[in-house]
Each structure stands twice: as structure tokens, then as C-alpha cells.
């Protein structure tokens, strides 16, 4: 039944098209020419020329107007029928255009959402990598800061030990601590710190004081040994002054070497 209805519809459309063609054939072909212009003499004669030469001007004009009006009516009716015949296809095409427009809007909205999602994912990934780099740099800085604080703590402990050793007159141990502290102060983790700017000069002063005191003590001990050996007059005691003097010279040389080492290792204030 559907196929028969479709076939009938096609035959009806074909019949309408044939009727329109037959109606348009009654209109002279000159009216369908692309260059048709009544201002041109030959076109005007062909379209409005009287059928008989004996007709008056008024009758000729009336006949021409009626003929033009008839042709216009034929064309108008043909156009109306053609529009009616193709109206279904026109409205169907219009519906398709609206559907395509709606689909395009939906596609555009989907593209906008996808771009937003991609932008969010990209920002999240970049933020993650940036955060990892930032945390890595923070860890490195914390490690360096921890090393610096540990070195500062060691310097503080050495300074306390120096005070105790100097007060207890253990100058040899104090010089060893001065040497170690000078090396630590000149290490890369502590060099340039403002809180330790005066420490090298103080270490040099302590080393100089220890060397002076040790030299004085050794010289005093040597003189006492010299005077004690001279009173006995024996050969065994005669060698004491020489041994004492040698000890003084060795101690003085060692003290000067330690002082020079500490001064060279410590940066200028």
C-alpha cells in the first residue's frame, strides 16, 4: 500500500510537472530569453506587434495588454503550482537545515566542554610537575640549611670548649680546637655568614695568646732548669739546660706552625 501510494504520488507530481510545462509553452519563448528587454525595438515588435495591420492603435494597445496580462497569469499560475509541488521538499529541507543547525550548536558546546576539560588536565599536570620541582628544590635547600645549622652548632661547641681549655691552661688542646674551628668556619657551608665574620680574628687572637703563654712557660721552665743544673756541677746535670732549650725551641716552632696554619685557613674578617 505504501509503495502504491508513493507511486501514485510520483505520477501525480509528474503529471503536475507536465501540465506546468504545457502551460508555459503557450507563452512565447522570447519572454524567457535572458536578454529580453522591451526597450529593444525587435523585442518590442515581437511581443506587442498587432496580429493584423488594419487594427487601430487603441485596439492594438488593448490587445497587447491583454496578451501580456494573459502571459503573466499563465506564468504566475505555473509558479504557484510549482511552489505547491515543491513545498514539501522545501519544508523538509528547512527542517533538515534546522536539525543541522542544532547539531552544529551541540557540537560546538561539546567542543567547548572538551577544551575546558583539556585545559583543566593540562593545568593539573603542569601544576603537579611544578609542585614536584618546587618540593625538590625545597628539600635541597632544607638539606643545605641543616648542614649549615649543624656546622654552626659545632662552631658554638668548639668556642665553649676553647673557653674551658684556656681557663684550664690546656693550651695545646686549645690550639688543636682552634685549628679545627678555623677549618670549619672556612667551609663552603659557613663562609660568608655575617654571624661568623669576627670569628677568624678571634681564633687568631686565641692562638697567639696560647702560643705566647706556652712559649713563656717553656722559657721559664728552661731558665729554672738552667739555674738548677749550674749549682750541682755534675755532668749529668750539665746536659739539662741544653735539653730544656731544645724543648723550648721545638715547642715554639710547633706553636708558630699551628698559629700560621690557623691564620691561613681562616678567611680575613
- The residue out of 83, 100, 117 marking a domain boundary is 100
Helices (H), the chain: 2-25, 41-48, 57-167, 171-185, 199-232, 235-238, 240-265
> What pTM was computed for the model?
0.38
- The residue out of 100, 124, 148 marking a domain boundary is 100
In a domain, 149, yes or no: no
- The residue out of 70, 100, 130 marking a domain boundary is 100
In a domain, 121, yes or no: no
Higher pLDDT, 154 or 51: 154
Q: Are residues 96 and 181 in the same domain?
A: no
In a domain, 152, yes or no: no
In a domain, 227, yes or no: yes
Distance of CA 10 to the CA centre of its chain: 66
Burial of 43 by CB count in 10 Å (0-12 exposed, 13-18 middle, 19+ buried)? middle
Highest-confidence segment of 49-53, 232-236, 264-268: 49-53
Cell 658554638, located at residue: 156
- What value does the mean pLDDT take over residues 18-41? 75
In a domain, 68, yes or no: yes
Q: Are residues 96 and 12 in the same domain?
A: yes
**What gap in Å lies between CA 169 and CA 269, rounded to an integer?**
27
Give the 3-state secondary structure of residue 160: helix
In a domain, 182, yes or no: yes
In total, how many domains does the chain have? 2
- What value does the mean pLDDT take over residues 170-189? 86
- Long-range pairs of 173-181 with CB within 8 A, sequence gap ≥ 24: 174/206, 174/210, 175/207, 175/210, 175/211, 175/255, 175/258, 175/259, 175/262, 176/258, 178/203, 178/206, 178/207, 178/210, 178/258, 178/262, 179/258, 179/261, 179/262, 179/265, 181/155
Q: Using the predicted structure, report yes or no on whether residue 255 has a pLDDT greater than 60.
A: no
Query: Which structural domain, as residue segments, surrounds residue 247?
Result: 169-265
pLDDT given at position 107:
94
In a domain, 88, yes or no: yes
In a domain, 61, yes or no: yes
Amino acid at each position: 500500500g505504501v509503495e502504491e501510494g508513493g507511486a501514485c504520488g510520483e505520477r501525480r507530481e509528474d503529471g503536475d510537472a507536465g501540465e506546468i510545462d504545457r502551460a508555459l509553452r503557450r507563452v512565447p519563448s522570447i519572454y524567457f530569453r535572458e536578454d529580453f528587454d522591451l526597450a529593444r525595438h525587435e523585442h518590442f515588435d515581437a511581443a506587442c506587434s498587432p496580429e493584423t495591420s488594419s487594427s487601430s492603435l487603441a485596439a492594438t494597445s488593448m490587445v497587447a495588454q491583454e496578451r501580456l496580462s494573459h502571459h503573466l497569469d499563465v506564468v504566475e499560475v505555473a509558479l504557484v503550482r510549482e511552489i505547491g509541488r515543491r513545498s514539501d521538499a522545501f519544508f523538509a529541507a528547512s527542517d533538515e537545515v534546522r536539525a543541522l543547525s542544532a547539531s552544529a550548536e551541540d557540537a560546538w558546546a561539546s567542543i567547548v566542554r572538551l577544551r575546558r576539560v583539556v585545559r583543566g588536565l593540562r593545568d593539573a599536570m603542569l601544576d603537579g610537575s611544578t609542585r614536584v620541582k618546587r618540593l625538590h628544590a625545597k628539600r635541597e635547600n632544607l638539606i643545605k640549611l641543616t648542614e649549615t645549622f649543624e656546622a654552626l652548632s659545632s662552631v658554638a661547641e668548639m668556642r665553649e670548649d676553647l673557653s674551658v681549655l684556656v681557663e684550664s691552661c690546656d693550651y695545646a688542646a686549645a690550639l688543636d680546637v682552634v685549628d679545627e674551628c678555623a677549618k670549619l668556619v672556612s667551609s663552603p657551608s659557613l663562609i660568608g655568614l655575617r654571624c661568623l665574620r669576627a670569628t677568624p680574628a678571634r681564633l687568631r687572637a686565641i692562638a697567639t695568646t696560647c702560643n705566647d703563654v706556652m712559649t713563656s712557660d717553656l722559657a721559664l721552665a728552661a731558665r729554672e732548669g738552667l739555674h738548677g743544673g749550674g749549682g750541682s756541677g755534675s755532668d749529668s746535670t750539665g746536659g739539662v739546660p741544653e735539653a730544656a732549650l731544645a724543648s723550648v725551641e721545638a715547642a715554639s716552632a710547633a706553636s708558630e706552625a699551628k698559629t700560621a696554619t690557623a691564620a691561613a685557613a681562616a678567611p680575613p674578617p
